[in-house]
Amino acid sequence: MSGNKSKWLAVVALGAALWGAAPDMSFAKQRFVIDITSEPSSLDPHKQWNNDSYFVYRNIFDNLITRSDKGEIQPEIATSWKQVSDSVTEFQIRSDVKFHDGRPLTPEDVVFSVMRIIDAKFASPQRGQFNKIIKAEVSGPNLVRLTTDGPYPALLAQLVKLSIVPKHVVEAVGDAAFNLKPVGSGPYAFTEWTKGVAVSLKRHDAYWGRKGPFETAVFRAVRDGATRVANLQAGTADLVTMLDSDLARPLRNAPRAQALTALTERVAYVRLNTSKPPFDNPQVRQAVGLAMDRAGIVEGILGGFDKPLGQMLTPAHAGYAADLPAPGYDVKRAQALVKQAGAAAQAEIELATSPVFDQRVVQAIQQMLTEIGLKVKINMSDMASYLKRAQGGLDAVPQMSFGRWSCACQDADGVLFALLHSSSGWSGYRNPVTDKLLEDARQTLDVAQRNKAYREVSRIVIEQVPLIPLYQSAAIYGASKNLQWTPTPNESLFLNRMTWKP
- Is 253 near another protein (CB under 8 A)? no
**Contact region with another protein (CB under 8 A), list: 15-23, 166-174, 359-367, 490-498:** 15-23
The single residue among 382, 440, 446, 463 that binds another protein, judged by CB under 8 A, is 382
Q: Is 13 in the site for another protein (CB under 8 A)?
A: yes
Interaction of residue 380 with another protein, rule CB under 8 A: no
Stretch that binds another protein, among 32-40, 137-145, 305-313, 330-338 (CB under 8 A): 32-40
Phi, psi of 456 (to 5 degrees): -65, -40
Residues 218-237 that bind another protein (CB under 8 A): 220-224, 226-227, 230-231, 233-234, 236
Give the angle 58-61-63 at the CA atoms, nearest 5°: 85
What span, in angstroms and rounded, lies between the C-alpha atoms of 217 and 499?
13
Q: How far is the CB of 94 from another protein (least distance, A)?
A: 28
Contact 359, 346 (CB under 8 A): no
Binding-residue pattern over the window 194 to 223 for another protein, x denoting contact by CB under 8 A = xxxxx---------------------xxxx
Helix, strand, coil percentages in the chain from 3-state DSSP, rounded to 5 = 35, 25, 40
Select from 34-42, 132-140, 270-278, 360-368 the region that touches another protein (CB under 8 A). Answer: 34-42
Nearer to another protein, 121 or 332 (CB): 121
**Interaction between residue 394 and another protein (CB under 8 A):** no
138 vs 221 by CB, closer to another protein: 221
Residues 154-183 that bind another protein (CB under 8 A): 175-176, 179-180
Q: Is 34 within 8 Å of 240 (Cβ atoms)?
A: yes
275 Cβ contact list (under 8 Å, min separation 6): 394, 395, 428, 430
Q: CA-CA distance, 316 to 337, in Å (whole number)?
A: 34
CB 188 within 8 A of CB 201: yes
Q: Are 381 and 354 in contact (CB under 8 A)?
A: yes
Separation between Cα atoms, residue 463 and residue 108, nearest integer Å: 50
Name the E strands within 341-423.
Answer: 348-353, 375-380, 400-405
Residue 209 burial (C-beta neighbours within 10 Å; 0-12, 13-18, 19+): middle
By CB under 8 A, tell whether 301 contacts another protein: no
Select from 144, 257, 361, 407 the one that contacts another protein (CB under 8 A).
Answer: 407
Least separation in angstroms between residue 270's CB and another protein is 16
Residues in Cβ contact with 202 at an 8 Å cutoff, skipping those fewer than 6 apart: 188, 189, 191, 215, 216, 217
Q: Are 68 and 160 in contact (CB under 8 A)?
A: no
Instruction: For another protein, give the closer residue by CB, 207 or 219.
Output: 219
**Which residue, 48 or 335, has its beta carbon nearer to another protein?**
48
Q: Per-residue string for binding with another protein, 90-129, x by CB under 8 A?
A: ------------------------------xx-x-xxxxx
List the x/- string, 419-448, binding to another protein by CB under 8 A.
-----xxx----------------------
Binding-site size for another protein (CB under 8 A) equals 69
How buried is residue 130: exposed, middle or buried, by Cβ count under 10 Å (0-12/13-18/19+)? buried
| Interaction of residue 359 with another protein, rule CB under 8 A | no
Smallest distance from another protein to CB 184, Å: 17
Query: Should residue 150 be labelled a site residue for another protein when binding is judged by CB under 8 A?
Result: no
What CA–CA distance (Å, rounded) separates 241 from 222? 10
Residue 383 binding another protein, by CB under 8 A: yes
d(CA 167, CA 173): 10
Q: How far is the CB of 37 from another protein (least distance, A)?
A: 10
The amino acid sitting at 186 is G
**Residue 278 CA from chain centroid, whole number:** 33
Binding site for another protein (CB under 8 A): 1-3, 5-6, 9, 13, 16-17, 19-21, 23, 35, 38-39, 41-42, 44, 47-49, 120-121, 123, 125-129, 131, 175-176, 179-180, 194-198, 220-224, 226-227, 230-231, 233-234, 236, 382-385, 387-388, 391, 405-409, 414, 418, 424-426
